[in-house]
Amino acid sequence: MVDFSKMSTMKGFFAPTRFEADVYDCEVTGKIPSDLNGAFVRLGGDWLYPPKFEDDSPFSMDGYINTFRFKNGVVDYKGRWVKTPRFKADRAARKQLFGKYRNPFTDDPSVAGLDRSVQNTTPLAFAGKLFTLKEDSLPYEIDCNTLETIGPYNFNGKFKSLTFTAHPKIDPATGEMICYGYEAEGLETNDVFLYTISPKGEVTRELRFKMPYVAMVHDIAITEKHVLIPVFGFVSSMERLKEGKVHWGWDDTKPALMCVVPRDGEAKDIRWFKGPSRATVHTLNARDEGGKVILEAAIYDGNPFPFFPPVDGSPWDPAKARAYIRRQTFNMNSKDDGFAEDKLFEMNVSDLGRVDDRYMTQPYRYAFTSYADKARPFEEWKAGNLGGRVNNCYGRFDLSTGKMNSYFAGPTHSLSEVCFVPRKGGAEGDGYILGVANNYAEMRSELIIADAQRLEEGDVARVLLPFRATSQVHGRWVDESELPFA
Amino acid sequence: MLTRRDFVTKLAVGGALAAMPPSVWPATLPARAPVVSIHMDQPYIDVTGRAIPYIPPPGLRSAAPIAHLSELEFRTRFVFL
């Protein structure tokens, strides 16, 4: 029997939804822009069954993919579980069989050796296929029209890593995908396999190298000539897994490392730069400038995830769990392994930021991300007293002037990750921002669509779901030319 | 948001009823004479006249169940709200 009553925080808006859904011709306020044709694809998670351990990471939630399909000014919604072997095993047993985050030693013995992945992190459209991504396993191919799960995908057997990042990067100039797997040869191995894959989906290059220790490598950045791979304090070991702990712990003694790999180089050409403790979980963009490589990202001073606790037993420090947009500069002409860092904005923001992807690897001006503006109204009597603790605004951050423009979602809302959709033929930043707002007064989710150049004017349209959408980790806009949509 | 002070001011000029959020008006008939009551600085008509605690309609305040969490508990359970 399913019982979530012991899960003290899975109540109200945050109770599991546990259903698949189709909404034909969604209710809309405002007017859907006629030039938006494609799909906003969201990937995140929900609990099919309660976790075996209440202190497990929310990253263990079962994957759930959903699309808002835009066509000729109307929108249809579809949501489906990602039906992994893990999902199917739990469903057949009618209970949670899997234990803590990326720790097979905590599983029910009946599922030993089964793919543990929950596929809940990032959707990807590439080479005419739709995928779900989770960094502990291969991508899963998804039917873009039915959202049914086809299965794991290894690029015609040429992708040899056992894992595939949740954050591959597409070079807009070549259409190539730069991607990688870490713990590439199995649990707790320090191998990284770095790949280049052609726009048709053929592996054209592989580079294998080892990390100084087993650590999380969640995201990368690319320039025309380099790949930047941030490594920071989330560490793991077989010993901690056998002790029944979650995969990652935070080691505050580890420096921030930046692995800079020439895109046409070999392992011997890799440079490792070192700086004070940071957590660069997600990146914005990077570029080559003369002999320098420059990265911008919303970077934390320390551990952002208390469910991956400090390995020394010290208390989690919320003061270090704030992300700020920063610039890091790596001098490739210097033998010094240090790097320069500048804080570009003093305000604390979500690290789930986006840029106009057409400008990836190039000089650019705008970054978009969400943040909590405590000065905005939050109607506690309608929504509950979460004011100031949830992101209620999207910001467009002008990296050249230091100015910021803001979109406010409403006094009973919180916002998921922002997505920028360029207007075809438009200049940088000309387009729309999309993102899902949770409405705590109405117990429903709303997809907001705003003009990225007129954020203060509010949204141009909202797609109203008659229920709560599953939580989102990442979302991507997929133009209708990218996938064989019906 | 309408504060208690604002509401009292509006009462004084006879505009109080117009300022009340209609969504909080109970549907049942009063057992005693209705009284104006306050819930979280917002006025509503207590139609029971018995000062029975206000219960929000279903769906309202759906974020309340996690509002009591400490920063540590909040960030442990929720990454992407």
**What pLDDT score was predicted for residue B15?**
45
Reported confidence tier of residue B7, pLDDT bands at 50, 70, 90: low
> What range defines the domain where residue A35 resides?
12-479
Query: Mean pLDDT across the stretch B42-64?
Result: 79
Please judge whether B74 and A304 are an interchain contact, meaning their C-beta atoms are less than 8 angstroms apart. Answer: no
Q: What is the distance between the alpha carbons of residues A36 and A38, in angstroms, rounded to a whole number?
A: 7
DSSP A215: B
Distance from CA of B64 to the nearest CA of A (A): 4
**What pLDDT score was predicted for residue B53?**
74
Please judge whether A13 and B62 are an interchain contact, meaning their C-beta atoms are less than 8 angstroms apart. Answer: yes
Of A9, A12, A55, the CB nearest to B62: A12
CB atoms within 10 A of CB A35: 14
Of A352, A380, A440, the CB nearest to B62: A440
Show the tokens assigned to A119.
């596929």
User: Are the C-beta atoms of A200 and A127 separated by less than 8 Å?
Assistant: yes
Please judge whether A389 and B74 are an interchain contact, meaning their C-beta atoms are less than 8 angstroms apart. Answer: yes
- What was the ipTM of the complex prediction? 0.88
Residue A7, in any domain of the structure? no
Decide if pLDDT at B28 tops 60: no
Q: What is the distance between the alpha carbons of residues A83 and A305, in angstroms, rounded to a whole number?
A: 27
The CA–CA distances, whole Å, from A107 to A50, A102, A111, A121, A242 equal 14, 10, 7, 21, 11
Q: What b/e sequence results for A200-238 when a residue is b if at least 16 CB atoms lie within 10 Å of its CB, and e otherwise? A: ebebeeebebebeebbbbbbbbbbebbbbbbbbbbbbee
Show the tokens assigned to A174.
């070549």
Of B60, B65, B78, the CB nearest to A11: B65
Residue A47, in any domain of the structure? yes
Please judge whether B62 and A321 are an interchain contact, meaning their C-beta atoms are less than 8 angstroms apart. Answer: no
**What pLDDT score was predicted for residue B38?**
81
Residue A485, in any domain of the structure? no
Please judge whether B81 and A471 are an interchain contact, meaning their C-beta atoms are less than 8 angstroms apart. Answer: yes
Decide if pLDDT at B11 tops 70: no
Show the tokens assigned to A228.
């930047």
* pTM score, whole prediction: 0.91
Of A11, A321, A411, the CB nearest to B75: A321
Reported confidence tier of residue B17, pLDDT bands at 50, 70, 90: very low
The CA–CA distances, whole Å, from A157 to A47, A118, A153 equal 32, 22, 8
**What pLDDT score was predicted for residue A81?**
98
Segments in A190-276 forming alpha helices (H):
238-242
Q: What angle do CA A245, A163, A83 make, to 5 degrees?
A: 85
Residue A486, in any domain of the structure? no
CATH of the domain at A63: 2.130.10
Query: Mean pLDDT across the stretch B13-29?
Result: 47
- Domains identified in chain A, total number: 1
Q: Which residues of B touch A384 (CB under 8 A)?
A: 61-67
**What pLDDT score was predicted for residue B9?**
53
User: Are the C-beta atoms of A256 and A230 separated by less than 8 Å?
Assistant: yes
Give the three-state DSSP class for A364.
coil
Q: Which residues of A touch B6 (CB under 8 A)?
A: none
Q: Which residue on chain A is closest to B78 by alpha carbon?
A: A58
**What pLDDT score was predicted for residue B57?**
73
Q: Which residue on chain B is closest to A372 by alpha carbon?
A: B81
B contact residues 3-62, partner A, Cβ 8 Å cutoff: 39-42, 56, 58-62
DSSP A398: E
Please judge whether B66 and A386 are an interchain contact, meaning their C-beta atoms are less than 8 angstroms apart. Answer: yes
CB pairs under 8 A between A and B: 99
Show the tokens assigned to A281.
């979980």
Phi, psi of B7, rounded to the nearest 5 degrees? -65, -45
Q: What angle do CA A396, A398, A400 make, to 5 degrees?
A: 170
Tell which wins on pLDDT, B46 or A260. Answer: A260
For chain A, say whether B2 makes contact (Cβ under 8 Å): no
Residue A44, in any domain of the structure? yes
**What pLDDT score was predicted for residue B31?**
58
Please judge whether A14 and B1 are an interchain contact, meaning their C-beta atoms are less than 8 angstroms apart. Answer: no
Q: What is the residue-level pLDDT of chain A in tens, covering all 486 positions?
A: 899 998 988 999 999 999 999 999 999 999 999 999 999 999 999 999 999 998 899 999 999 999 999 999 999 999 999 999 999 999 999 999 999 999 999 999 999 999 999 999 999 999 999 999 999 999 999 999 999 999 999 999 999 999 999 999 999 999 999 999 999 999 999 999 999 999 999 999 999 999 999 999 999 999 999 999 999 999 999 999 999 999 999 999 999 999 999 999 999 999 999 999 999 999 999 999 999 999 999 999 999 999 999 999 999 999 999 999 999 999 999 999 999 999 999 999 999 999 999 999 999 999 999 999 999 999 998 899 888 899 999 999 999 999 999 999 999 999 999 999 999 999 999 999 999 999 999 999 999 999 999 999 999 999 999 999 999 999 999 999 999 999
The set of residues, in sequence order, having a beta carbon less than 8 Å from that of A111 and lying 6+ positions away, is A86, A89, A97, A98
Q: Which residues of A touch B76 (CB under 8 A)?
A: 55, 306-307
For chain A, say whether B73 makes contact (Cβ under 8 Å): yes
Show the tokens assigned to A280.
């660069």
Reported confidence tier of residue B25, pLDDT bands at 50, 70, 90: very low
Decide if pLDDT at B39 tops 90: no
Q: What b/e sequence results for A144-160 when a residue is b if at least 16 CB atoms lie within 10 Å of its CB, and e otherwise? A: beebebeebbebeeebe
